[in-house]
């Protein structure tokens, strides 16, 4: 006889941040800008009311290395986005969660430029349609 394991809800959306991004010419020994951005977002995400809807995922490279820092969003049935040229600042970190909240709240996942938080109104490298 097996006991039922408690079910842990899995967020339906993911905010991906590349932890290995660094600007061109940065010292290889320096803490990577991507790591700094990820840690700033993680600190906010820990107490963020939307954390049940959006998981945070630190990843090593999203093939936008020449356009550091890179941030992406994905969710089932929604387009995926890859943003680039993001500075590892507290403003960007807060805006990333604001953007993720918009994405999670949208039925279509479409993020119109004028509605996005300031740091995310530019720098889209890719908008990939949802799978069929
Ligand atoms: S190192 Fe960040 S996208 Fe490649």
Per-residue model confidence as pLDDT tens digits over 27-48: 989 999 999 999 999 999 999 9
Is 55 buried (19+), middle (13-18) or exposed (0-12) by CB count in 10 A?
middle
Cα-to-centroid distance, 38 and ligand 1 (Å): 13
Q: Is residue 1 pLDDT above 50, yes or no?
A: no
16, 37, 57, 62, best to mutate for ligand 1 pocket (most atoms within 8 Å of CB): 62
Q: From CA 115, how far away is CA 56, in angstroms rounded? A: 22
The CATH number of 13-128 is 3.40.30.10
Predicted pLDDT at 119: 98
Q: Where are the domains of the chain?
A: 13-128
């Amino acid at each position: 006889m097996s006991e039922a394991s408690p079910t842990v809800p899995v967020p339906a959306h993911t905010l991906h941040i590349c932890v290995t991004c660094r600007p061109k010419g940065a010292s290889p020994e320096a803490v990577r800008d991507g790591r700094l951005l990820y840690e700033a977002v993680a600190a906010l995400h820990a107490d963020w009311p939307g954390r049940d809807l959006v998981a945070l995922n630190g990843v090593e490279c999203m093939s936008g290395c020449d356009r550091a820092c890179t941030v992406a969003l994905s969710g089932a049935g929604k387009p995926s986005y890859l943003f680039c040229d993001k500075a590892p600042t507290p403003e960007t970190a807060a805006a990333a969660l604001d953007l993720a909240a918009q994405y999670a709240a949208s039925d279509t996942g479409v993020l119109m430029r004028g509605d996005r938080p300031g740091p995310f109104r530019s720098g889209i490298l890719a908008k990939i349609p949802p799978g069929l």
